[in-house]
Chain A
Amino acid sequence: MAYQPDRSQYPQPGSDGKLDIDLKSGKYLKLWQGPQHPGITGNMSVELTVCGDEVVEGITHVGYLHRGFEKLMERRTFIQCFPIVCRICVPEPDFNEYCYAAAVEELAGIEIPQQAKWIRALILEMGRINSYLMYVGGQAGSFGMGVIGQWTTYVRDLMLDRFEELTGARIYHMFILPGGVRDSLPEGFAQRMEGTLCEIEKTMQDVYDAMYCNAVYKKRSVGVGVIDLDLMDSYGVTGPNARAAGVAKDVRKDQPYLVYSELEFEAILGVDSDIYTRSDVRRRDLLQSVDLVRQILVKMPKEGSIMTKLPNVLHWKIPRGETYIRGECSRGEYGYYLVTDGSAYPRRVNVRGPSYTHAMSLLERMIVNLNIADVAGLMVSLHTYPPEIER
Chain B
Amino acid sequence: MQDLYKKLKKQFSLGELTEQRDDLAFITIEKDKLRPLLTHLRDVEGYSHLVLLTAVDWLEEGIFQLTYLISNRTAAKDIGLRVMISRDKATMESIHDIWPTAATYQRELREMFGIDFPDSPRVNDDFILEGWNNIPPYRRDFDTLKYSTENFAQRPGRETKDPAEHMKQQLYPDGAE
The answer to whether any beta carbons of A and B sit under 8 Å apart in the complex is: yes
Q: Which residues of A contact B56 (CB under 8 A)?
A: 322, 339, 347-348
- Chain-A contact segment, one of B29-37, B99-107, B150-158: B99-107
Give the CA-CA distance A249 to B26 in the complex, in Å.
Answer: 23
Give the CA-CA distance A255 to B73 in the complex, in Å.
Answer: 10
- Contact code string B139-162 (vs A, CB < 8 Å = 1, else 0): 010101100000000000000000
Task: Check if B138 sits within 8 Å of A71, measured CB to CB.
Answer: yes
Whether A192 sits at the interface, judged by CB under 8 Å, is: no
Q: Tell me how far the C-beta of B103 lies from the nearest C-beta in chain A, rounded to whole angstroms.
A: 6
- Chain-B contact segment, one of A124-132, A228-236, A293-301, A375-383: A228-236
Q: Which residues of B contact A63 (CB under 8 A)?
A: 126-130
Count of B interface residues, CB-CB < 8 Å? 40
Task: Check if B144 sits within 8 Å of A235, measured CB to CB.
Answer: no
Whether A12 sits at the interface, judged by CB under 8 Å, is: no
Task: Check if A357 sits within 8 Å of B104, measured CB to CB.
Answer: yes
Whether A62 sits at the interface, judged by CB under 8 Å, is: yes
Q: Which residues of B contact A71 (CB under 8 A)?
A: 137-138, 142, 144
Check A255/B101 contact, CB under 8 A, given A17-B121, A352-B52: no
Chain A interface bracket (under 10, 10 to 19, 20 to 34, 35 or more): 35 or more
Whether A70 sits at the interface, judged by CB under 8 Å, is: yes
Task: Check if B121 sits within 8 Å of A255, measured CB to CB.
Answer: no
Whether B89 sits at the interface, judged by CB under 8 Å, is: no
Task: Check if A350 sits within 8 Å of B100, measured CB to CB.
Answer: no
**B1-37, CB < 8 A from A:** 18, 20-21, 23-24, 26
Task: Check if B80 sits within 8 Å of A322, measured CB to CB.
Answer: yes
**B91-134, CB < 8 A from A:** 99-101, 103-104, 121-122, 126-130
Whether B84 sits at the interface, judged by CB under 8 Å, is: no
Q: Which residues of B contact A360 (CB under 8 A)?
A: 101, 104
Check A321/B51 contact, CB under 8 A, given A62-B127, A72-B144, A337-B67: no
Q: Which residues of A contact B65 (CB under 8 A)?
A: 339
Q: Which residues of B contact A74 (CB under 8 A)?
A: 140
Q: Which residues of B contact A75 (CB under 8 A)?
A: 144-145
Whether B83 sits at the interface, judged by CB under 8 Å, is: no
Task: Check if A352 sits within 8 Å of B51, measured CB to CB.
Answer: yes
Whether A254 sits at the interface, judged by CB under 8 Å, is: yes
Give the CA-CA distance A258 to B1 in the complex, in Å.
Answer: 23
Task: Check if A255 sits within 8 Å of B23, measured CB to CB.
Answer: yes
Whether B50 sits at the interface, judged by CB under 8 Å, is: yes
Check A249/B73 contact, CB under 8 A, given A235-B101, A324-B24: yes
Check A234/B73 contact, CB under 8 A, given A62-B128, A63-B127, A68-B137: no
Task: Check if A335 sits within 8 Å of B51, measured CB to CB.
Answer: yes
- Contact code string B29-66 (vs A, CB < 8 Å = 1, else 0): 00000000000000000001111101111000000010
Chain A: CB-nearest residue to B123: A17
Give the CA-CA distance A321 to B65 in the complex, in Å.
Answer: 13
Of the candidates A18, A106, A337, the one whose C-beta lies within 8 Å of that of B52 is A337
Task: Check if A361 sits within 8 Å of B144, measured CB to CB.
Answer: no
Chain A: CB-nearest residue to B100: A234
Q: Which residues of A contact B137 (CB under 8 A)?
A: 68, 71
Q: Tell me how far the C-beta of B37 lies from the nearest C-beta in chain A, rounded to whole angstroms.
A: 17
Whether A66 sits at the interface, judged by CB under 8 Å, is: yes
Give the CA-CA distance A262 to B32 in the complex, in Å.
Answer: 45
Chain B: CB-nearest residue to A326: B51
Of the candidates A233, A322, A362, the one whose C-beta lies within 8 Å of that of B48 is A233
Q: Which residues of B contact A17 (CB under 8 A)?
A: 121-122
Give the CA-CA distance A238 to B50 in the complex, in Å.
Answer: 11
Instruction: Identify the 4 closest CB pairs spanning chains A and B, nearest first.
Output: A17-B121, A63-B128, A350-B54, A233-B48
Chain A to chain B contacts (Cβ below 8 Å), 16 pairs: A63-B128, A68-B137, A106-B20, A233-B99, A234-B99, A235-B99, A236-B101, A254-B76, A255-B23, A322-B67, A323-B20, A324-B24, A333-B51, A339-B56, A360-B104, A361-B101
